[in-house]
Amino acid sequence: MNILLLGGGAVGEAYGMLVTEADPGSEQVQKLVVADYGLARAQEVAARLGGGDRFPAIQIDAGDQAQVEAAIRTHRIDLLVNGCPQNFNETIFDGAFAAGCHYLDMAMTLSQKHPTEPHAKVGVLLGDYQFRQHAHWEQKGRLALLGMGIDPGVSEVFARYAEKALFDEIDEIGIRDGSNMTVKKYRYATQFSVWSVIEECLNPPVFWEKEKGYYTAKPMSAPEVFDFPDGIGPIELVAIEHEEVINLPRWINKGLKKVDFKISLGEDLMNALRQLELMGLTSAEAISVKGVRVAPRDVVEACMPDPAKVGPLMEGRICVGTLVKGRKDGRPREVYVYQVADNQECMRRWSCQAVAAQTAVGPSIATELLARGIWQARGVLPPEAFEPEPFLERMAAYGFPYKIKDSWEA
């Protein structure tokens, strides 16, 4: 399989490291082309992976569909792995379709707020642009696998496994993402794209209930304290916009009544995001500044620490998991299927920070399953569309074992 990795940031670099470690003999991945807007960054990542003919580096403007198509055709790409911020998704997705290769991303195309009631009703949902094109991809015999990171992605594999193996009836599914991570020298630092942090945290969070369907609320609302395992402990979480809430009700049955997503952000970061929004600095629309067109959000991102470089300054753990409540054999059951990544371990093994490495395990294992023909499908699909066991069986070998906290074993 020839792969085009579009985006050489923290997650893209970690993806390359995991794929290379898992396939040193080029059995699944014969070529991995590292592409980035900054050629120097693409070359840096490609060199880390081994360079040479197997890992070439190229410069691409991901906002130019013609460039995306040309790279796919030039390098005879089988699978495009999209590691760019979501604002580039439509162009990249369309480029992969036009050039005739398979596609994988870690976050779906952007939503649009309801025009009059953004904190109560949904507008355009995450991924709507892509899912509308399912029939076209299916007819072309190509697969677009959407939202295959850690969350979204592995979190949905966990839910699919719980439905298949652990429950007869399911009432609720909640994704719970928490971290005790700190970054030395910085009060504000994100471990993945600043652009994406602003987007998903300041958009109205989406909830789903069987009786109400999809609905929204105010950003960073519905707080709760969740006790995370493996030494992380109790942390306050808030609801933000996320793909799992869109996908799970469409694929998980067995009586599902409620789905939500909550994450730990911390009061400092939430206050900073609110202030940036009040000042207009979170806008993704370009404005003119002394004759130069620039988006305020891009300025904020440029002022923040680079997520690909903060790994040595980070300490702590991050836990991503899927909380499922229901019944098995007539008995009430609650399970939390989760994965914990430790930053020191990730830096020691891959020289990649934990949030990026944990995110990259989803597309890395999916790449192997697609290359081996274990996961086979056509069309535009989420992770829930595939059998979960082959994925889960490989997590430990990739360095990210999963665990299950089960109320039956308490």
Nearest residue to 119 via CA among 201, 215, 242, 213: 215
Domain boundary among 70, 105, 140: 105
Identify whether the C-beta of residue 180 lies closer than 8 Å to the C-beta of residue 233: yes
Same-domain status, 334 and 187: yes
Nearest 10 degrees: Cα torsion 153, 156, 161, 164: -140
Predicted pLDDT at 191: 75
Does 25 map to a domain? yes
Does 99 map to a domain? yes
Give dist(CA 307, CA 10) in Å, integer: 6
Give dist(CA 302, CA 287) in Å, integer: 16
Q: What is the pTM of this model?
A: 0.96
Give the model confidence (pLDDT) of 99-127 as tens digits. 999 999 999 999 999 999 999 999 999 99
Domain boundary among 105, 134, 166: 105
Predicted pLDDT at 48: 97
Same-domain status, 160 and 64: no
Same-domain status, 221 and 303: yes
The CA-atom distances, in angstroms, between 280 and each of 87, 112, 277 are 18, 18, 5
Predicted pLDDT at 42: 98
Same-domain status, 202 and 346: yes
Give the model confidence (pLDDT) of 241-251 as tens digits. 999 999 999 99
Does 237 map to a domain? yes
Computed over every residue of the chain, the mean pLDDT equals 96
Q: Can you say whether the dihedral through the CA atoms of 294, 307, 45, 364 is positive or negative?
A: negative
3-class DSSP assignment, residue 92? helix
Domain boundary among 44, 76, 105: 105
Same-domain status, 168 and 47: no
DSSP string, 174-187: EEEEEE--EETT-S
Give me the CATH number covering residue 37: 3.40.50.720
Identify whether the C-beta of residue 324 lies closer than 8 Å to the C-beta of residue 170: yes
Give dist(CA 347, CA 353) in Å, integer: 6
pLDDT over threshold 90, residue 326: yes
Strand partners, 33: 4
Size of the chain in residues: 410
Same-domain status, 167 and 25: no
Task: State the SS3 of 116-151.
Answer: CCCCCCCCECCCHHHHCCHHHHHHHCCEEECCCECC
Give the model confidence (pLDDT) of 124-183 as tens digits. 999 999 999 999 999 999 999 999 999 999 999 999 999 999 999 999 999 999 999 988
The CA angle 111-188-62, to the nearest 5 degrees, is 40
> Which residues lie below 8 Å from residue 132, measured CB to CB, with a gap of 6+?
none
Task: Tell me the residue range of the domain where 16 lies.
Answer: 2-105
Nearest 10 degrees: Cα torsion 398, 262, 241, 82: -10
Pull the structure tokens for residue 151.
């969350």
Give dist(CA 210, CA 191) in Å, integer: 34
Domain count, the chain: 2
Does 307 map to a domain? yes
Does 115 map to a domain? no
Give me the CATH number covering residue 303: 3.30.360.10
Give the model confidence (pLDDT) of 49-68 as tens digits. 999 999 999 999 999 999 99
Same-domain status, 261 and 347: yes
Half-sphere exposure at residue 280, Cβ-oriented, CA atoms within 13 angstroms: 5
Give the model confidence (pLDDT) of 9-60 as tens digits. 999 999 999 999 999 999 999 999 999 999 999 999 999 999 999 999 999 9
Same-domain status, 73 and 181: no
Give the model confidence (pLDDT) of 187-237 as tens digits. 777 777 888 899 999 999 999 999 999 999 999 999 999 999 999 999 999
Helix 194-202 × helix 267-278 angle, to 10°? 90
Predicted pLDDT at 296: 94
pLDDT over threshold 80, residue 283: yes
Does 380 map to a domain? no
Same-domain status, 174 and 231: yes
Predicted pLDDT at 400: 98
Does 139 map to a domain? no
Identify whether the C-beta of residue 111 lies closer than 8 Å to the C-beta of residue 123: yes
Query: Could you tell me how far CA 233 lies from the centroid of its own chain?
Result: 24
Compute the chain's Rg from CA coordinates: 20
Does 29 map to a domain? yes
Same-domain status, 180 and 323: yes
